[in-house]
Amino acid sequence: MDNLLIKSARIFFPNTPFHGKELDVLVKKGVITKIAGQIKEDVTNLDVFDAKGQYLVPGFFDMNVNFGEPGLETKEDIVSGCAAALAGGVTGVAVHPNTHPPVHSRSEVALIVNRSRPLPVDVHPIGTISKKRQGEELAELYDMKLTGAIAFCDGDKPVQQAGLMSRALLYSKGFDGLIISCPEDASVAAGGKMNEGVTSTYLGMKGNPNLAEALMVARDLYLAEYNDAPIHFTTISTAESVELIRKAKAKGIKVTCDVAAHHLVMTDDLIAGFDSNYKVSPPLRTQTDIRALRKGLKDGTIDAIVSQHTPHEIEYKNVEYQIAAEGIIGLQTLLPLALQAGLTVDQLVDKLAMGPRRVLGIPLPEFQEQALANFILLDTELKWQFDSQTNRSKSSNSPLMGKELKGKVTLAVNKRQIINTQ
């Protein structure tokens, strides 16, 4: 599909003269060659896509994704992960270093960069903060940055040593590196299997309190302020975290944050059925937390929405809830969950496409003639079944598997490649 004519798409590209208008778009070999009210082109091998009622928006960027490569390719490799991303309208990802070995040196960074180069998704590795993700000694941050690491995080292992986190913030500031905090105080969380509250008490299950997250957010905000360094919090899930970050932003601290899509719609009472596909980290919280998170999105406290895509083989999930692995796949359900949370198309563009790129310092997609195309078409009303036929991931650990979802991406264009995702 080298030449594509998109008919009657409603354009949602902020800060362009085309925003909010219904237009035709001609793409030739990955380049936007014409944007007009009506385009009649005599081009050989021209594919026409009727986008009436659909929105043309920048390709989404997911800044919290887990692929298994290197070492855990049976969960997800870069190729299958990118296929799932495209099906969800995600044309760019930042992959966390939860691999084996972890992404803690230039070798692993280079492997991911090179393996993903021909794929139609922009894949940006996140390097570890500490060697082997052990939280004891700084990894070679600058070396990884030169090789292509977009930011630094110990993945799903929160940095417990305040001194190490402080040194990481200070050191990375010298070369414009970004430290990402996965906020949880392990001594307070103490191995809790779900949110601490009414439901955990009812089920007799050890809980992980909001306090575990809020304490770590407070600590890292102090460290960021002390070192005058930027910090990003990933997958915040509590009302307390939102309020702490809101106040820190008002104070002028260089802080950004994101929220996982499932934390905007799912609550801890869903765990009453002991379905291990609801077991995530941080755990599903309460309706009070959901209201605070949605408010944080609207007032700008929360900068981005992520999928926290975490694939697992069936043997890690099809077991008792207590011993099941944490995490769900989420790339293809990112849009439906965001719509379920009540986001408008403008908010979708801001939180799923523009916000993540601004946080990471990545150039925003352009929408003008002669620009390289990076956009998707989405239908907010289209209903579809998420099942083994439509799932593009190697794994199937999602509580939404087998359910009808509303909102689907129908086309993705990036890196001179055009992919029909219907």
Task: Please write the tens of the pLDDT for every residue from 89-119.
Answer: 999 999 999 999 999 999 999 999 999 999 9
Compute the distance between CA of residue 182 and CA of residue 281 in angstroms, rounded to an integer. 10
The pLDDT value recorded for residue 53 is 96
The pLDDT value recorded for residue 335 is 98
What's the token pair of residue 405?
A: 């979802």
The pLDDT value recorded for residue 229 is 98
384, containing H or E segment: strand 375-386
**Cis peptide preceding 230, ω within 30 of 0:** no
Alpha helices in 72-118 (DSSP H): 78-87, 106-116
Q: Are 7 and 51 within 8 A, CB to CB? A: yes
In three-state secondary structure terms, 226 is helix
Classified by CATH at the fold level, domain 59-360 comes out as: TIM Barrel (3.20.20)
What's the token pair of residue 177?
A: 């590196």
In three-state secondary structure terms, 220 is helix
**Domain spans in the chain, listed from the N-terminal domain onward:** 3-56+368-380+407-420, 59-360
The pLDDT value recorded for residue 1 is 67
Q: Across 182-274, where does the E strand assignment appear?
A: 194-195, 207-208, 231-233, 255-260
Q: Across 242-368, where does the E strand assignment appear?
A: 255-260, 304-306
The pLDDT value recorded for residue 51 is 96
Q: Which residues of the chain have pLDDT under 50?
A: none
β-bridge partners, 255: 231
End-to-end CA distance of the chain: 15
Exposure of 44 by Cβ count < 10 A (0-12 exposed, 13-18 middle, 19+ buried)? exposed
* CATH hierarchy code of domain 3-56+368-380+407-420: 2.30.40.10
Exposure of 15 by Cβ count < 10 A (0-12 exposed, 13-18 middle, 19+ buried)? exposed
